[in-house]
Structure formats: C-alpha cells, structure tokens
A and B are shown apart, each in its own frame.
Chain A
Amino acid sequence: MRRTTIAAATMSTLAFAGALYAQGKPQEIVTVVKITGISWFNRMEVGVKEFGAANPGLVTRQIGPAQSDAAQQQRLVEDLVAKKVDAIAVVSMDPPTLEPVLKRALDRGIKVVTHEADNQKNTLADVEAFDNTAYGARLNDRLAACMGQQGKWTTLLGSLGSQSQVQWAHGGVDNAKKKYPKMQLVDPDNESLNDAEKAYGKAKEILRKHPDIKGFQGSSSLDVLGIGRAVEEAGLQGKVCVFGTGLPSEAAKYLESGAVGGIAFWDPKDAGIVMNKTAKLLLEGKKPTDGMDFGVQGYNKVSVTKGPGAGVIIRGQAWVEVDKANYKNYAF
C-alpha cells in the first residue's frame, strides 16, 4: 500500500511537469480510420500526410485498429482523448458506439470531425463526399447517355438494409422517372449481398428474363464486377450499358473489355484532406459555412446543414467519375 502512495505522489509531480512540457508544441490532428492496411485507407493516409506537410504548424497522422472491430476503434479514440490531442478526425466504424467517447473528447476541448457518419450526434462537423441521392442521379445520367435515353434497365444494390446504397439506387430511379420517360425500369432493387458472385448470378437471371435489357446500375462496389462478368460471358459488351460504384483497381478488367461502361466513387485521399482542413478551421476558431471552398476538387462549394447533434454536416459534390480512358489515374 505504501508503494501506491509513493507512486501517486510521483505521478502527480510528473503530471505537472508533463503539463508544462506540453506548452508551445505544434497542434496535432489525428485521423482514426476503420481499419489500417487496406487500400482505401492507405489512399486516405496519402491525403492526411499531404495536408500535414503543407501546414507546418500542424502535425497530422493517421491511425486505425489492426482488426475490423468497433471496440478496438473505440479504445484508440479513448487513448487519444486521454492524450488530449488537439483534434480527432474519425471515420466511424459504427457511429452509435463512439457517441460517449466522442462526447468525452468534446468535453475535454478536443475538436471532433467525422466522416461517413451523418447520424453522429457528438461531432462538430461531419464530412460527406456528396449527397447520396444526387450521386445516384448522376450515375443514372451517365447510364441514360449510354443507352440513348431509352430501353429497359434495372438496378442492383448490396442490401436493402444499407442506407446509402438504397439512396443511390433510388436516386437513380427517381432521376430516370423525371428526365427519361422512354427508359423502362424492370425488376428493380436486386440484392447482391455485397458479393460479386451473387451479383453475377442476378445479372445472368435478368439477362435471361429480359434479353432486350439495355442498362444496369450497380450500387455496391462489387455489383459492377458481377454484372460485368455476366455481360462479358454473354458477349454483350457495347450493347448493354453498365454503370455503378466501383474501385478502379477492381473494375479495371471490365473497363478494359468494355463490359462496364464507367464507374464512380469518391476519393478517400480528398476526404482525408477535407476532414483535416475542417479540423484546422475549428482549431482556428472558425466555422465551416455554406458555399465554402475547401480548395479540393469536388469540395469547392460545399453545402453546410445542421446535423443530428450540435454539429454540422458538410457535403461536397466529390464523386469521381472514371471510364476506360482515365481509370489508371487512380491507383487504388
């Protein structure tokens, strides 16, 4: 027991020394991602580092759990709160799980920025790459252009439980209804369960049932892979238009063969930069305002709306559209 007393005494002395030492250091922004070591977040780290290098008064770094587990992410944030970094930018694995720890962060005066979490309450600003409905509509416009604005078409999505994907698919459907009366939607909302194999099976089924189908709009990044394979096997490249969310590295093969007309996504590198830039704004005591220019392609005129908590939601138009000609510019 005596040892504990001595330890406590030493501890408080050193804590005081530590507090003195902390003065005059550069401000630190830490980005916490869902999981480290996957290409999506490696790409984000490029943006985080780039932003740090361009801002000498700031130290930026990215961390993330080694396993895909909300508990591990929560513990990482917990330690950052204890360390009292200046700002935390987090890509929430599961927004509700992080609420209490982010509240503690805010209580300690840490600036909190989130991404892909428009339902997060304890945040000062949530950065979203785009409005989901507008993104779906945009994909649909490209599909319509390819189809000559007429013919049968359908949609695939990962699952009906995944909110953003449903919004993309329905954004496309509403867009077609409004703008392209000659496009006929058949058997919409096919679930691929985020599995390229299932998407392939669904696409084959649809091609059999509607031999005259002209277009597919995919939602999960794996949808276009399955549809592309089915179209390629049927030898329908160039006759059936396929557009959807996808990753350049994965979809490369089908973009080359023409089975997939084009894909869209948002660049995690840019999202990383904008998150850190927002954190910097907040550290300077400024607030993001509607129509603001973040100096990053797609975030030149963001919309700022009130979020579910005290914070705001910052939305860009940061979809990146690529096809056969330019997918090689994005190496992830």
Chain B
Amino acid sequence: MKLKFSDPQLNFLVGINVLVLVAATVLSHGEFLDVYNFQSMASQMPELGLLAIGVALSMISGNGGIDLSGIALANLSGVVAASVAPHVVSADDAPWAYTGVFVAVTLLTGLAGGLLNGLLISRIGLTPILCTLGTQLVFTGFAVVLTGGSSLRIGAADPLSAIGNEYLWGVPIPFLVFMAALLAVGWLLRSTAFGLRLYLLGTNAKAARYAGIAQDRMLTATYAASGLLSACAGVIIAARTASVKSDYGTSYLLIAILIAVMAGVRPQGGYGRMVCLFFSALALQLLSSTFNLLDIPQFFRDCAWGALLLLFLASARVDLRRLHTFNPRSGAPSRQSPPGATRTPT
C-alpha cells in the first residue's frame, strides 16, 4: 500500500508508536523486544481492532453514525454458533466441518445483526447512537437467554482453536484475519465507488443526496459490514478463549471507539483511514503491554489512554487549522429531501 507521509495524523501515530516502543525497550532493559512478546501483542490486537473498524465505518457514514452494538453482537454470534453447531455436526467426529459450520453461523448472525442495525437506522430513521444502544441490549439479552449468563465451552475442534491460537509463518492467525479485514476495508474505501460515496455521504449528506447517492442502501450496507466485522471478532474471541460468554469484553466498547477516534476518524463523518486505525490500535496495545511488563497498575493504563487521546485531539486541532480548506461542512442536515422528492422525511 502506498503511504502518504504528508498526513500529519499518520505521522503523529507512527511517532507515538516509536516513542512507546523505545520507552518500553529502555525501561525494560530490552526485555520488551522478545519475539514471543510481539506475537502475544499481535494476537491480542485483533479482537479490539476488528470492532474498531466497524465503529470507524459507521462514523465515516456521518449523521452521528456510531456502532455501540459491536461487542454485544460479537458475543451473540459466538453464542448462537456455539449453541447451533453441535446439533449440526459433532466436533469430535468432524472437526473441520464443525469449524466450518461454527464460522458460517457466526458470520451469518453477525451479518443479520448488522442488517438489523442498518435497516433501523436507514429505513425507520433512528439515531444511530440510540438505535445501536438498543440493539446492544437486545443482543446481550439474547445471549444471556441462550447461555443462562454463564460461559459456554465450545467443542474441542483443532481447526477452530487454531484460528485463535496458532501461527502462520510466525504470525498469529487472528492478526492475519485483522490485517485482511483492514486491507479489504481500506481498499473498499480508497478504490471503489462505494468508498467514494461513503465519504461523500459522511461529508455532506445533502450534497450526496443531490448527487443521487442512495443513502438508505449505503447506510444499510455500512452497518451490515460493521456487523460482519463484529462476527469476525466473535469467531476470534470464541477460538481464543475456547468458550463464548454473553458479557465478555464489555470494556471493549469504549476502547474500540477510542481507537477509531484516535485514528483520526472524524466523529462527524466523512474521513477516516485504515492505516491510521492500525497504528492507533497498535499504540494502545503497546502502551497496555508496556504497563503490564513494567508492573504499572491498570488504573493508570486507562488514565494514560485518556491522556493520549487528549494529546492526539490537541495535535489534530492544530493540523486541521492548517488544512482548513479540507474541513467538511458537517453541520448540514442529512435527512433533508431534495426539492421535488416525493418521499417525506421521517
């Protein structure tokens, strides 16, 4: 991928990463630079990273877009798959078939959940933050009903466990999944008509409507994609923990939003780069692992993440002033009908 080094956000993020890496190395007397440590960090990133891509996509779509239901949907998809798969094939007799069914059911559930979000937001016109808050509770509720609230062990199928715990050429498989998703979404945003339309829609919904962009379809597709990404996270969580649980990773919700905002994804919509998202997720992981390595309490980690976000927002503000001509007019009402439209806004 061609990287533009003129992007101040990217430079800032890479700088932060290098800084944390150097600090961790010096403070731990080199202990930090261990191959296993990097493999461990690389396998911890994807769960959060995939959820953050979903949040980023919904933010880019504008109109106050956000997906709060990510982790709940990831858990629900895992729970549904863990409940359904054993009835279809036995994990002991046909581990590959079990894995196939498990992954397929997870992805389908995620897609269905994402579509539900998308349809509620685009057709019924619910505010994304409220809609996904509601569906988050619904998804968690379903998962609780299916499991009774406790965790459910998944069948012992080697291929499924490999998705979460094995390496390919020394790289953890979850990390490869994460990179594949990043590249796919990056390509989608950068090189396809869908991406261009999404940026336009997020930048100025009114102008996008005049330009003939089908807002309903775009929003539905965006939230469906976000649901699918949640399901990918769901597969990885199930594989990495050998179990599914309705309230796993409840703390991920805000961290995923943090990653997206720190990656420079504009909360008002219309801007966001996947390469920045990668470095943002990496920075948080490096910081978190560094603190664990140096025996710094977890409370301080949260504090440092907050400080990092503020630092980033401050730096972004300075840069934005310089790039003022690119600043989108985000205040335009998005659900205003173009003149002559027969449909009335809901």
In the complex, the answer to whether B35 meets A15 with C-beta atoms within 8 Å is yes
* Residue B338 is within 8 A (CB to CB) of chain A in the complex: no
With both beta carbons as reference points, the residue of chain B lying nearest to A65 in the complex is identified as B298
Of the residues B31, B35, B248, contact of A21 by C-beta under 8 Å: B31
Beyond A63-B295, A82-B40, whether A75 also contacts B288 by CB under 8 A is yes
A286 interface residue per 8 A CB criterion: no
* A99:B241 contact, CB within 8 angstroms: yes
Q: A63 to B30: give the CA distance in the assembly, Å.
A: 22
Q: B243 touching A36 by the CB < 8 A rule?
A: no
| Binary contact track A70-85/B, C-beta < 8 Å → 1, others 0 | 1110111011111110
Chain B, residues 24-67, CB within 8 Å of chain A (1/0): the string is 01001111111111111101100100000000000000000000
Pairwise interchain contact B292-A79, C-beta atoms closer than 8 A: yes
Docked-complex contact B292 and A97, CB < 8 angstroms: no
Given A14-B25, A82-B289, decide whether A100 and B153 contact each other with a Cβ distance below 8 A: no
Closest to A75 in B: B44
B47 / chain A contacts, CB cutoff of 8 Å: 71
Partner of B164, one of A22, A71, A100, A108: A100
User: Contacts of B29 on A, CB cut-off 8 Å?
Assistant: 18, 21
**A96's contact among B34, B241, B252, by CB below 8 Å, is which?**
B241
Complex Cα–Cα for A15 and B33 (A): 5
Q: How many residues of A contact B (CB 8 A)?
A: 42
| Contact assessment for A70 and B161 in the assembled complex, using a CB-CB cutoff below 8 Å | no
B331 at the A/B interface (Cβ < 8 Å)?
no
Q: Among B117-125, B144-152, B212-220, B307-315, which stretch is in contact with chain A?
A: B144-152
- Alpha-carbon separation in the docked complex, A80 to B301 (Å): 16
Contact of A15 with B30 at beta-carbon distance under 8 Å, contacts A94-B151, A99-B243, A100-B242 already known: yes
B contact residues around A12 at 8 Å (CB) = 35
The one of B36, B161, B251 that contacts A84, using a Cβ cutoff of 8 Å: B36
Contacts of B33 in A (CB 8 A): 10-11, 14-15, 18
Closest to A16 in B: B30
A17 at the interface (CB under 8 A from B): yes
- Chain A CB within 8 A of B83 CB: no
Determine the chain B residues whose CB is within 8 A of the CB of A104 once the complex forms.
165
Q: A21-B29, A64-B298, A82-B37 are in contact. Are A96 and B242 (CB under 8 A)?
A: yes
In the assembled complex, the Cα of A100 lies from the Cα of B174 at a distance in Å of 14
Q: Give bound CA distance, A173 to B169, whole Å.
A: 58
Pairwise interchain contact A96-B299, C-beta atoms closer than 8 A: no
Interface pair B298/A71, CB less than 8 Å apart: no
Taking a contact as CB atoms under 8 Å apart, the answer to whether A36 and B293 are in contact is: no
CA of A76 to CA of B29 in the docked complex: distance in angstroms?
Answer: 21
B302 at the interface (CB under 8 A from A): yes
Query: Would A18 and B34 count as touching, CB distance under 8 A?
Result: yes
Nearest neighbor of A79 in chain B, beta-carbon distance = B292
The complex places the Cα of A78 from the Cα of B247 at a distance, in Å, of 19
Residues in A neighbouring B30, C-beta threshold 8 A: 14-15, 17-18, 21
A305 within 8 A of B: no
Q: Are B150 and A161 in contact (CB under 8 A)?
A: yes
Given contacts A72-B251, A75-B288, contact A94 B245 (CB under 8 A): yes
> Is the CB–CB distance between B151 and A96 below 8 Å?
yes
For the complex, is B273 an interface residue (Cβ under 8 Å from A)?
no
Does the CB pair B40–A78 fall under 8 Å? yes
For B302, the chain A residues whose CB sits under 8 A away are 66
Q: Give the nearest-CB partner of A19 in chain B.
A: B34
User: Are the C-beta atoms of A22 and B31 separated by less than 8 Å?
Assistant: yes
Which residues in B have some Cβ–Cβ distance to A below 8 Å? Answer: 25, 28-41, 43-44, 47, 148-153, 161, 164-165, 237, 240-243, 245, 247-252, 288-289, 292-293, 295, 297-299, 301-302
- Residues of chain A touching chain B, judged by Cβ–Cβ distance below 8 Å, are 10-12, 14-15, 17-19, 21-22, 36-37, 61, 63-67, 69-72, 74-76, 78-84, 94, 96-101, 104, 108, 161
A selection of 7 A-B contacts at a CB cut-off of 8 Å is A15-B33, A69-B251, A71-B248, A71-B252, A79-B293, A96-B242, A98-B241
